[in-house]
Amino acid sequence: MILGIECTAHTFGIGVVHNKKILANIRDMYRPEKGGIVPLDAAKHHQHIALSLYQQALDKANINEKNIKAIALSNAPGLAPCLLEGLRFAQQKAQSLSIPIIPVNHCIAHLEIGQHEGARDPVLLYTSGANTQIIAFSSGKYRVFGETLDIGIGNFLDKFARHVGIPFPGGPFIEKEAKKGTYIELPYTLKGMDVSFSGLYTKLIQLYNNKIPPPDLCFSLQETAFAMLVEAAERALAHTEKKELVLGGGVACNTRLQEMCKVMCKERKARFFCPKKEFLIDNAAMIAYTGELMFKAGVFSPPSQVNIEPRERTDEVDVTWK
Ligand code: AMP
Ligand code: MG
């Protein structure tokens, strides 16, 4: 059994995996009363909830903690206070059970969980709050083929929603509003396989201040921002000659984004994999799942030798387990 811990941002989670089977996936999300995430408050949330989620996960998996072979920890990338809280909890448990820790890169875990859906060698379109990247395996590493040049797609959605008075998370609200809207042209920024949202954001605020109805803005911003992402992903598929696309990250819960990916893949004769919602959003099952792959390849460390890596890049990780 591998126990996984997710702690990189707003979500704290505990998952249990055994031979690629997911036995538990428990999570709890910190919600700011207003505004965006306050890292220290999110860390306090994690500290407060950790032990109870740990117990719930063991109960759900119906195992004793003595069955745990190693603890997989999302030690990178993320908000330092949140990562530290996860590390503290993982070290304490690993030391008391005399088992090692497997340091897992959160972005890579979003990709690896796509295998659970049947993908073999995919391109990942990773669309979360802070991260927006197009990642694929090439020459021994997961490489970032494209990414946002400014803010993540989710932060962009949340920022716009906050401007029109909707609290975090804004994505689901925008999806609902978009159903009532019609199209207006907006700035479309795609450079190679990189995207940028700041011009789009500025234009949206101008239009909102000029009393353009929010449903039209929501519809058009989805059509524009998602088209940029899907075109970047298509370029990566063409460049790498890969034939599979996996979606990951909270924004991938959006059915319009899923639909656009599906159409693009069909046109290119590529296979499209969209994990279930509980594996799309930040979750510990994907950390445990990736941890198990790494553990079997001998990638783990004594608890005291593991550290957090808030800024670790996807392509800094040596992928020796593939
Ligand atoms: P993550 O950082 O991966 O946990 O994802 C959180 C982000 O997903 C937030 O920015 C949310 O606004 C966004 N999100 C969640 N559900 C949806 C949805 N249905 N449509 C668009 N964005 C969403
Ligand atoms: Mg994530």
Asked if residue 248 has its Cβ within 6 Å of ligand 1, the reply is no
Among 57, 77, 15, residue whose Cα is nearest residue 292: 15
| 109 ligand 1 Cβ < 6 A | no
Q: Alpha-carbon distance 58 to 21, whole Å?
A: 15
Assess whether the previous peptide bond of 169 is cis (omega < 30° from 0).
yes
> Which is nearest to 294 in space by CA: 125, 27, 105?
105
Dist. CA 250–CA 119, nearest whole Å: 19
Task: Give me the residues near ligand 2 (ion), CB cutoff below 5 Å.
Answer: 128, 282
Give me the numbers of helices (H) and strands (E) for the chain, helices first please.
10, 12
- In sequence order, the 6+-apart residues with CB closer than 8 A to the CB of 211 are none
Alpha carbon distance 38, 187 (integer Å): 31
Report the alpha-carbon distance of residue 12 to residue 279 in Å, rounded: 14
Reading the chain (322 residues) residue by residue, the pLDDT tens digits are 999 999 999 999 999 999 999 999 999 999 888 777 899 999 999 999 999 999 999 999 999 999 999 999 999 999 999 999 999 999 999 999 999 999 999 999 999 999 899 999 999 999 999 899 999 999 999 999 999 999 999 999 999 999 999 888 899 999 999 999 999 999 999 999 999 999 999 999 999 999 999 999 999 999 999 999 999 999 999 999 999 999 999 999 999 999 999 999 999 999 999 999 999 999 999 999 999 999 999 999 999 999 999 999 999 999 999 8
Instruction: State whether the beta carbon of 172 lies less than 6 angstroms from ligand 1.
Output: yes
Residue 77: CB within 6 Å of ligand 1? no
